[in-house]
């Protein structure tokens, strides 16, 4: 566990292992703890950096909106402080959006990106409207929003299979401040389409796509990888591959690195 000061807020990260640098970026309502069962496997041969994104975990809030570009700048600040010049990103969901924003701003630093249950497309109008509704719900009932949101990230069958893990993940998610939740949704709502990175990237790209992902439409994910060199790995379950398909996911990460 380590921390830095960034624009007058506390910024939290972990660092483990020795070797090539791999940066893990968690998703919405998550924090560095989501990687607890993944890091020991990857840290055997690599330096693994995991960062609490703005408004999540033990990292503070900067404002009403945390854009993906602002998140990327914060990540760059950490990596520069650690004097790390080049790295592979693994980003889950929102973490993937941050990784793509980072790639657009700082392409020379990137050796590869793995988008895990994430997308390079922007929100469409319906998704933006749904985010606005969710923001209103969070303003009134933040705890209820989180308790409903977490189970709905799993495939239908896995809501029962992983009931105990869902409780644990929900407890962790409830630590996210109301402002952190809203600022992240506002940032995701206005993020840019970055499918051009998939098409023209000078570094390797991989996408982990789940067929029953309730948060992302399967065919849209497949379509954005057409005529690209993106490596696709398909899983049969939901949005939470690090829980629902953990062993297979670790193998995919190790091969990509």
181-236: pLDDT as tens digits:
999 999 999 999 999 999 999 999 999 999 999 999 999 999 999 999 999 999 99
Domain with residue 167: its CATH number is: 3.40.50.1820
- With beta carbons less than 8 A apart as the criterion, state whether 120 and 100 touch: yes
**What is the rounded average pLDDT of the residues 128-149?**
97
For every residue of 55-121, DSSP letters joined together read TSTT----SS---HHHHHHHHHHHHHHTT---EEEEEETHHHHHHHHHHHH-GGGEEEEEEES--SS
Evaluate if pTM is beyond 0.85.
Answer: yes
| Residue 163 pLDDT exceeds 90 | yes
For every residue of 225-239, DSSP letters joined together read TTTS--EEEEESS-S
Domain that holds residue 160: 2-256
Share of the chain above pLDDT 90, in %: 100
The predicted-structure confidence for 3-51, as pLDDT tens digits, reads as follows: 999 999 999 999 999 999 999 999 999 999 999 999 999 999 999 999 9
| 3-class SS of residue 197 | helix
- What confidence score (pLDDT) does residue 144 get? 97
Query: What is the residue-averaged pLDDT of the chain?
Result: 97
How would you class 15 by CB atoms within 10 Å of its CB: exposed for 0-12, middle for 13-18, buried for 19 or more? middle
- With beta carbons less than 8 A apart as the criterion, state whether 244 and 162 touch: yes
Distance CA 245, CA 80 (A): 33
- With beta carbons less than 8 A apart as the criterion, state whether 151 and 128 touch: no
21, containing H or E segment: strand 20-25
- What DSSP character marks residue 17? -
How would you class 221 by CB atoms within 10 Å of its CB: exposed for 0-12, middle for 13-18, buried for 19 or more? buried
- What confidence score (pLDDT) does residue 172 get? 97
Distance CA 54, CA 112 (A): 23
**What is the rounded average pLDDT of the residues 247-256?**
98
Split into its structural domains, the chain has a count of 1
| 3-class SS of residue 257 | coil
Backbone angles phi and psi of 25, in degrees to 5: -120, 120
- What confidence score (pLDDT) does residue 1 get? 76
Per-residue burial over 229-257, b = 16 or more CB atoms within 10 Å of its CB, e = otherwise: ebbebebebbbbbbbbbeeebbebbeebb
């Amino acid at each position: 566990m380590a921390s830095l000061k960034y624009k007058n807020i506390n910024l939290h990260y972990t660092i483990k292992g020795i070797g090539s640098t791999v940066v893990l970026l968690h998703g919405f309502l998550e924090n560095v703890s989501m990687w607890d069962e993944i890091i020991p496997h990857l840290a055997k041969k690599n330096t693994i950096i995991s960062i609490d994104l703005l408004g999540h975990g033990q990292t503070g809030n900067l404002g009403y909106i945390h854009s993906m570009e602002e998140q990327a700048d914060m990540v760059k600040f950490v990596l520069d402080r650690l004097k790390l010049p080049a790295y592979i990103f693994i980003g889950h969901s929102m973490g993937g959006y941050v990784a793509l924003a980072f790639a657009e701003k700082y392409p020379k630093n990137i050796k590869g990106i793995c988008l895990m249950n994430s997308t390079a497309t922007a929100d469409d109008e319906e998704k933006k409207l749904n985010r606005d509704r969710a923001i209103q719900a969070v303003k009134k009932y933040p705890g209820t929003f989180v308790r409903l949101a977490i189970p709905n990230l799993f495939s239908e069958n896995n809501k029962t299979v992983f009931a105990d893990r869902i409780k644990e993940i929900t407890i962790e998610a409830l630590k996210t401040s109301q402002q952190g939740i809203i600022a992240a949704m506002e940032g995701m709502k206005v993020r840019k389409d970055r499918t051009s990175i998939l098409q023209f990237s000078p570094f390797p790209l991989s996408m982990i796509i789940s067929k029953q992902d309730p948060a992302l439409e399967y065919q849209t994910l497949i379509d954005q990888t057409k005529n690209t060199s993106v490596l696709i790995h398909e899983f049969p379950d939901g949005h939470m591959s690090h829980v629902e398909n953990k062993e297979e996911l670790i193998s995919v990460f190790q091969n990509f690195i």
